[in-house]
Amino acid sequence: MDAETFKKVFLPYHQKLYRIACCIVQDAANAEDIVQETFIKLWNKREEMYGIENTEAFAIIILRNTCLDCLRKTKNNYRLNYDADIPETASSAKQIEARDEADQVRKLINRLPDMQRQVMILKHWDGYSDEEIEQITGISPGNIRVILSRARKTIREQFIKMQQR
């Protein structure tokens, strides 16, 4: 592969390679250096590339390996977003289950009597203290605690019933 063909084939991937490198190493300066190093590796392998059908995928693999080598060499404790974007099936299932449970709890809260729902939302979603809730609603702090206790108990009981079905 001559220089002109190499430029036509690989230079259009520069921005994409840079974005991927930034995601992996989380440092713009290192990402640019890694992209340049990737281009050097690609240039050195140019004679071996005649059988490669997908040059973009080949360039991305070289880039990823170069990023990982760089991280290993510098021994930085970067969290690899590249790996984090590939969720494990178990954790995905847990995330979906947690989302479903949160939706169920929201529905249960919406079914509460008006005062319980209002106090519950003010306390747990909006983060107000008991004193602030007292000022907003005019309910005494003792009554706020009772209302919250009853609301939580109702939600807990209904949630358990839903889970047993």
113: left (phi over 0), alpha (psi -120 to 50) or beta: beta
* Predicted local distance difference test score (pLDDT) of residue 106: 84
105 with 147, same domain: the answer is yes
77 with 120, same domain: the answer is no
Range of the domain at 103: 89-164
Are 132 and 112 a contacting pair, CB within 8 Å?
A: no
CATH code of residue 148 = 1.10.10.10
Tokens standing for 38?
């990737």
Mean pLDDT per block of 10 residues along the chain (165 residues) reads: 85 89 80 92 86 85 86 54 46 76 85 88 81 84 92 92 83
* Predicted local distance difference test score (pLDDT) of residue 45: 87
20 with 38, same domain: the answer is yes
* Predicted local distance difference test score (pLDDT) of residue 69: 83
Are 99 and 91 a contacting pair, CB within 8 Å?
A: no
* Predicted local distance difference test score (pLDDT) of residue 24: 78
* Predicted local distance difference test score (pLDDT) of residue 86: 44
Domain boundary among 84, 114, 129: 84
Residues 117, 147: Cα–Cα separation, whole Å: 9
Domain boundary among 84, 107, 135: 84
* Predicted local distance difference test score (pLDDT) of residue 153: 94
* Predicted local distance difference test score (pLDDT) of residue 91: 64
118 with 150, same domain: the answer is yes
CATH code of residue 54 = 1.10.1740.10
76 with 100, same domain: the answer is no
77 with 96, same domain: the answer is no
110 with 141, same domain: the answer is yes
Domain boundary among 57, 84, 111: 84
59 with 42, same domain: the answer is yes
* Predicted local distance difference test score (pLDDT) of residue 126: 72
